[in-house]
Structure 1
Amino acid sequence: MAQTGSCDSRPLLDLHKTTEERRAPLRTWANTCMPRERWLLAESEEARGAHCKASPELRWVRRLPVSAEDGIIMDYTEQNDSKLADGQEEAALLQCLHSLPVLCVLGPGLLHRELELAMERMGLVHDPTYAWDIYSDMMRSQLRCTFVSAKLPRPLTDATRAILVDWLIQVHEVFHFSEETLYLAVHLLDRALRQIKVSVSNLQLLGLVCLFLAGKKEECLLPEISELCFLMDNCYSKQQLLRMERRVLRGLDFELFHCPPLYFLLLTASIARCTDEVVWMARYLLELSLLESQCAVFLPVQLASAALSLARQVLQEAPTPESETAWCIATSLHVCREPTLTRIIQILAVAVSEVQGRETRASFMKFSSSNTLYVSAHPALQSAPCLLRLGEQALAQRRDSPLNGGRGGETGQYT
């Protein structure tokens, strides 16, 4: 199977690569046209639009306080805010790192600019004026398909699901699919298990069909159906695979959209100026969450926040005033309640400490190469109690962050 073509998003999502080494995905080519406001009006259109008055330039800032249950940003509002010049905001924030009133005023403007720069660095947007709208849609779209409970229908078990997801990770690597395809496939699998009655004997067929559907949505090159049947030792025919595909599409009502937690993780890591090792460690922890059925009930933004916080504490890099300021700004993009983050960190800590002794070791082997900086073999990942202690330190830092209120109690409460 040839590697994915020009829309392969793996170079797009690898922050350690330079701008010249990245390739723009096919879905961003539609944004390469010039912005509408830069077009020159023809002479025949100048007179027709002369009576229209130009609206004053508006700045977009976040509406506070946030209205979602776990502090999820749902909308933005227009404000004519010209309190500080662009060059003075970051200087004032660095000088007054522990001054809560100043940070509360400067925070939304800095979030606006940092998110635009992050999306430009990742090649996700051509016109930065749409950055806030895109991020708002990402936050809203993750609420479309949520799970009330992590309990699987009988006779399926958590161990059976973990084995299937581990096999899907291996197949995903064989076909060199993008990371979005893997996260979408697991999401479709979790939804299909709750919408379609499937026996254990057909569970492998269901998982491969979900990966095939995710590839149809995210990839530009797909394997032949005969190749998929060969991967299952020809236990299922081509007709059985196509019938299962129709069942899944009808059961899911042809709703195949999913905003993966990887997007939130990479955006936050870019704004926080995280190093390559921190990013790879967070990606490893995030992929391990796919094997845990308990993580299906959490929102993608919550999983990304917990994985990145735990990765920073595991590596224990020397902090600087600039890095701590950038981290405070990044974590204010998506804030969650502390019990939610604590629960996710507990699940990740147990999973990463026991992964070497389990049969499901595909992610461990995947992140033990030089391309991933050997993050899965880091010595700090061997002990679950040590990871839990590091997770508690990460939550304490988030709770004491100036942009998050600088006080105890619930994380991310704005006034």
Structure 2
Amino acid sequence: MARTGLCDSRTLLDRKTEEARVPLRAWANACAVRERGVLGVLGEGDEQKQQHKADNTEHRWVQQLPVFAEDGIIMDFVQQSGSVAPAVEHYEEEAVLNHLHGLQLAPTLSDLVPVLVRREIEVAMSKLGLLFDRSYTWDIFSDMMRSQQHFALSNSELPKPFTESTRAILVDWLIQVHDAFNFSEETLYLAVHLLNRVLRQIKISISSLQLLGVVCLFLAAKKEECLLPEVSELCYLMANTYSKKQLLRMERRVLCALKFDLSHTPPIHFLLLSAYIARCGEKVICMARYLLELSLLEAKCVCFFPVQLAAAALRLARHFIQEPHTPESEAAWCIASTIYLGSEATLFTIMHIMATAAAKAHKQETRATFVKFSTKETLYASLHPALKSAPCLLSLQT
């Protein structure tokens, strides 16, 4: 820590909350659907205004009353003449096809994702709480696959004077702070993603690197969490090296650099989605989560897509945890493998990086992830004997 100027806050991070905070997604899905009436919400004067607007012939488009009136959802738009506009799904599917064609994948959507795969994805996303209405399953999944290239980094080079070691120390410290606040996994992956983007867009000194990391974690928490820490508490974790004014000023600077776009599909979503479809056991999932979090410390992994990182972690975990294979499990794995984008060479490269990181994790200075996954709750994933044999890991058979 002294080498990089980061204050050592390990003693401050020993406190844990007794009750785990419920992620916003789970909390929202648990809430009952409120009845939203479509009619009866306008006053008499408002009704006259609405009637006057309806009689105005200059408006070419009007909103059609929702099909599901009890949900209050606008399902489609129609022309004023009454003829129905072309189906939105047709244009959405065509847009996805055009995007996937650029990735040199299957020429048609039906070839890429058969009916069986689409059904498995729908069930998995519903079980994992990634959607509220199953009718939007394919739209959400298409956006997850499409948005990966939006902020993809072309290379893993860091701007001077930062090094891979400096970045790893900062990410390791952020993992400790994230664990102390009991944030969700999505918050951690979003924070590191924002950090990777900001480091390449704004000039920042080594002395302000820790402040930048905390701001990225704070912004990620604003997007993913229900409860947020106080700004003064974040300053306290940095030993009050920075003031509240400095933190808020850095937050404004980061948001302007990112153009207030904090969207990101974390690899943990693809990991859990593939693991559910592949019918993987709990040990395999814990091992894959451990390998995936280790990739956050590796600067070489920032230029890969989230779905590629998830696929590599899951395949590597299956290599370590030798679960009994059955025809049903092999068929499920084949279905889950269709989600992957990229070549086998790319997959093997990522597995190589993760395997090397796992082999030396127990003796590294950045050991936050290793310690986190050495507990009973994580099934002692980081202590698995297969992880300590570097020659075996570096000669993987994919």
After TM superposition, the score normalised by the length of structure 2 is: 0.78
Aligned equivalent of 1:18: none
Q: Identify if the C-alpha distance between structure 1 residues 361 and 111 changes in structure 2 by more than 3 Å, giving closer, same or farther.
A: same
1:389 deviates by 3.0
2-structure distance, mates of 1:253, 1:27: 29
Letter in structure 2 aligned against 1:67: H
Which residue in the other structure is 1:26 paired with?
28
**SS of equivalent residue, structure 1 residue 142:** helix
Measured after TM superposition, the shift of residue 321 of structure 1 is 0.3
1:364 equivalent in alignment to 2:370: yes
**Which of 252, 273, 279 pairs up with 2:279?**
273
Q: Which residue pairs with 1:286 in the alignment?
A: 292
- For the pair 1:238 / 2:244, whether they are aligned, the reply is yes
Q: State the shift of 1:339 in Å.
A: 1.5
SS at structure 2 position matched to 1:203: helix
Tell me which residue corresponds to 2:349: 343
Residue in 2 that maps onto 1:214: 220
2:103 is matched with which residue? 69
Contact 1:74 1:136 in 2 (8 A): no
Q: CA RMSD in A?
A: 3.2
Q: How does 1:32-71 map to 2 (within 5 A)?
A: 37=67, 66-69=100-103, 71=105
Q: How many pairs are equivalent?
A: 341
Correspondence 1:253 to 2:259: yes
**Preserved contact between residue 362 and residue 370 of structure 2 (Cα < 8 Å):** yes
State the percentage of identical aligned residues. Answer: 55
Question: Is the 1:350–1:384 contact (alpha carbons within 8 Å) kept by the matching residues of 2?
Answer: yes
- Report the AA paired with residue 185 of structure 2: E
* Larger CA Rg, structure 1 vs 2: 2
1:28–1:200: structure 2 CA closer, same or farther, 3 Å change rule? farther
- Partner of 1:154, secondary structure, is coil
Shift, 1:246, TM fit:
1.1
User: Residues 29 and 132 of structure 2 are in contact (CA less than 8 Å); yes or no, is this contact kept in structure 1?
Assistant: no
Match of 1:177, SS state, is coil
Shift of 1:332: 0.7
Q: Residue 342 of structure 1: CA displacement?
A: 1.4
Stretch of structure 1 that moved more, 112-121 or 124-133: 124-133
Which residue does the alignment assign to 1:397? none
What do residues 287-310 of structure 1 show as CA deviations (whole Å, max 9, x unaligned)? 000000110000101100111011
Separation in 2, partners of 1:269, 1:110: 16
Which residue is 1:158 aligned to? 164
Matched, 1:7 2:23: yes
Give the match's secondary structure for 2:324.
coil
TM superposition shift of 1:28: 7.8
Alpha-carbon distance in 2 for matches of 1:241, 1:176: 21
Contact 1:4 1:219 in 2 (8 A): no
Opposite residue 152 of structure 2, the aligned amino acid is T
- CA deviation vs aligned residue, 1:338-383 (integer Å, no higher than 9, x gap): 1111110111011000111110000011011111111110000012
Please give the alpha-carbon distance, in whole angstroms, between the structure 2 residues aligned to 1:195 and 1:27: 36
Native 8 Å contact 2:29 2:129 kept in 1: no
Question: Are 1:352 and 2:358 an aligned pair?
Answer: yes
In the alignment, what sits opposite 1:48?
A: none
Question: Does the aligned pair in 2 maintain the 1:74–1:139 contact within 8 Å?
Answer: no
TM-score of the superposition, structure 1-length normalised? 0.75
- The 8 Å contact of residues 381 and 387 in structure 1, kept in 2 or not, is answered as yes
1:169-188, aligned counterparts within 5 Å? 169-188=175-194
The whole-number CA distance in structure 2 between the counterparts of 1:52 and 1:307 is 50
Q: SS at the partner of 1:228?
A: helix
- Tell me, in whole angstroms, the C-alpha distance in 2 between the residues paired with 1:363 and 1:159: 16
Task: Output the CA distance in 2 between the equivalents of 1:118 and 1:153.
Answer: 40
List runs of 5+ in structure 2 lacking aligned partners: 1-15, 37-65, 72-81
SS in 1 for 2:220: helix
Give the deviation of 1:138 after TM superposition: 0.4
1:313 is displaced (CA, Å) by: 0.8
CA-to-partner distance for each residue in 1:100-145, whole Å, 9 max, x for gaps? Answer: xxxx79x601101111111121122232222111100001111111
**Cα distance in 1, alignment partners of residues 119 and 313 from structure 2:** 24
State the SS of the aligned residue for 1:166: helix
Cα distance change on mapping 1:33 and 1:162 into 2, 3 Å: farther
How is 1:316-395 mapped onto 2 (pairs within 5 angstroms)? 316-390=322-396, 392-393=397-398
Give how far 1:37 is off: 4.8
Equivalent position amino acid for 1:236 in 2: Y
How far apart, in 1, do the equivalents of 2:217 and 2:289 lie? 20
Task: Give the letter for the 2:368 counterpart.
Answer: A
Aligned to 2:196: 190
Deviation at 1:226, TM superposition (A): 0.9
Superimposed CA distance per residue, residues 236-266 of structure 1 (whole angstroms, 9 cap, x where no aligned partner)? 1111111111111111111111110000010
Matches within 5 A, 1:71-150: 71=105, 76=109, 108-150=114-156
The verdict on how the C-alpha distance between 1:6 and 1:26 changes in structure 2, with shifts beyond 3 A counting, is farther
Give the corresponding residue for 2:42.
none
- Partners of 2:109 and 2:300 lie apart in 1 by 32
| Relative contact order, higher structure (CA 8 A, sep 6+) | 1
The residue matched to 1:147 in structure 2 has which SS? coil
In the TM superposition, residue 316 of structure 1 has moved relative to its aligned partner by 1.3
* Aligned equivalents of 1:171, 1:154: Cα separation in 2: 26
Letter of the structure 2 residue corresponding to residue 69 of structure 1: L
Residue equivalent to 1:296? 302
